[in-house]
C-alpha cells in the first residue's frame, strides 16, 4: 500500500512537469535514455544480448531448434517469441505462468520483427514439408524502470543479429559447429510513447508509465516502412497524436539503429 502511495506521488510530479513540457530526468520529450548493448552474454545461446535502457535491463537469447513446418506453409520456418517478467526485476512481478502484460510484450516484439519481413522464413526451411528451423527468441526482464517494449525490441534484434545457424548432419544438430549466420534484411526498431496529460513522451520511465493515460508502440524500418502498431492502456489518442508518434519514431529509431 505504501508503495502505491509513493508511485502516486511520483506520477503527480510527472504530470505537473508535463504541463511545462518537462520531464523528471530533464530529458526532452522525444529523447531516449542511454542505451547500452552487450552482445553474446550466453555461450550456449546461438545469439544473445543484454540491453540496458536507462535503468531498465533485459536479456534476450536465441535457440535454433529443428522442427516440422506448419501444414499451411511447408517451405517456411518460423520464429517464436517469449517474455518472462522475472520476479527479481520488480516487486510487481510474481512467479507463475505469463500474465497478459508479459504476453502482450512478447507478441508486440514478435510482430515488430515478423512483419518487417527482416527474416525470410523460406531461408529457415531445410526440407520442404519436413524439416525447418524454429527460431526461439526468449527474453527475460531483469530490472524494470519502464519502456520494456523498446528494451526487449532492441534486445531481440541484437540477439538475432548475432545468431549463428547450427550445422546439421543427418537431420541432427552438430553441437558447437555452425553453418553461418542468420540473414536479416532489415533492422526494425520498436518505439514506444506515453501520453501524459496531452503530451507525448518517448521512452517512458516507470514513473511516467504510472502517469500515462495511453501508450502507443510503433515498429519502423530503415527503409521508411511502418511494420507494427500497438495501442495500450485505457486512454485514447487522436489521429494526429498517432501521426506525431510515428514521426518521432522514425527519427529516434535512426539513432538507435546506429548503436546496434
Among 33, 63, 111, 187, binds other proteins (CB under 8 A): 111
Among 27, 117, 164, 167, binds other proteins (CB under 8 A): 117
Number of shown-chain residues binding other proteins (CB under 8 A): 36
Q: How far is CA 109 from the centre of its chain?
A: 4
The cell numbers describing 74, all together, are: 511447408
The cell numbers describing 97, all together, are: 505462468
Whether residue 69 contacts residue 76, with contact meaning beta carbons closer than 8 Å, is answered with yes
The cell numbers describing 168, all together, are: 546439421
Return the HEC string of 157-174.
HHHHHHCEEEEEECCEEE
The cell numbers describing 214, all together, are: 495511453
Q: Which has the closest alpha carbon to 15: 145, 195, 192?
A: 195
Position 253 contacts other proteins (CB under 8 A): no
Which is nearer to other proteins, 87 or 236 (by Cβ)? Answer: 236
Among 235, 254, 255, 259, binds other proteins (CB under 8 A): 235
Which is nearer to other proteins, 22 or 231 (by Cβ)? Answer: 231
Angle (CA) 244-14-53 rounded to 5° is: 70
Whether residue 226 contacts residue 218, with contact meaning beta carbons closer than 8 Å, is answered with yes
Angle (CA) 16-24-216 rounded to 5° is: 80
Which stretch in 44-52, 111-119, 146-154, 169-177 sits in contact with other proteins by CB under 8 A? 111-119
Which stretch in 36-44, 59-67, 104-112, 163-171 sits in contact with other proteins by CB under 8 A? 104-112
Which is nearer to other proteins, 37 or 139 (by Cβ)? Answer: 139
Q: Give the shortest CB-258-to-other proteins separation in angstroms.
A: 22
Residues from 73 through 102 that contact other proteins (CB under 8 A): 73-75, 100-101
Residues that bind other proteins (CB under 8 A): 72-75, 100-101, 103-104, 106-107, 111, 114-117, 216, 221, 224-239, 242-243, 246
Amino acid at each position: 500500500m505504501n508503495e502505491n502511495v509513493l508511485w502516486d506521488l511520483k506520477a503527480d510530479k510527472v504530470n505537473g512537469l508535463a504541463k511545462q513540457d518537462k520531464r523528471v530526468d530533464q530529458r526532452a520529450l522525444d529523447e531516449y535514455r542511454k542505451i547500452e548493448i552487450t552482445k553474446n552474454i550466453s555461450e550456449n545461446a546461438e545469439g544473445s544480448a543484454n540491453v540496458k535502457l536507462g535503468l531498465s535491463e533485459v536479456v534476450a537469447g536465441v535457440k535454433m531448434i529443428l522442427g516440422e513446418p506448419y501444414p499451411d506453409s511447408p517451405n517456411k520456418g518460423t520464429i517464436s517469441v517469449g517474455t518472462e517478467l522475472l520476479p527479481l526485476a520488480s516487486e510487481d512481478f510474481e512467479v507463475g505462468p505469463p500474465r497478459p502484460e508479459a504476453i502482450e510484450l512478447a507478441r508486440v516484439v514478435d510482430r515488430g520483427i515478423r512483419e518487417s519481413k527482416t527474416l525470410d522464413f523460406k531461408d529457415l526451411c531445410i526440407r520442404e514439408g519436413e524439416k525447418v528451423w524454429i527460431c526461439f527468441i526468449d527474453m527475460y526482464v531483469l530490472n524494470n524502470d519502464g519502456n520494456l517494449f523498446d528494451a526487449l525490441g532492441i534486445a531481440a534484434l541484437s540477439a538475432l543479429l548475432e545468431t549463428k545457424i547450427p550445422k546439421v548432419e543427418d537431420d541432427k544438430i552438430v553441437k558447437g559447429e555452425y553453418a553461418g549466420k542468420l540473414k536479416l534484411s532489415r533492422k526494425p526498431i520498436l518505439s514506444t510513447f506515453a501520453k501524459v496529460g496531452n503530451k507525448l513522451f518517448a521512452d517512458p520511465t516507470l514513473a511516467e508509465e504510472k502517469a500515462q493515460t495511453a501508450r502507443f508502440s510503433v515498429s519502423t524500418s530503415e527503409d521508411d516502412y511502418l511494420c507494427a502498431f500497438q495501442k495500450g492502456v485505457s486512454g485514447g489518442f487522436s489521429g494526429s497524436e498517432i501521426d506525431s508518434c510515428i514521426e518521432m519514431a522514425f527519427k529516434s529509431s535512426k539513432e538507435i539503429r546506429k548503436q546496434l
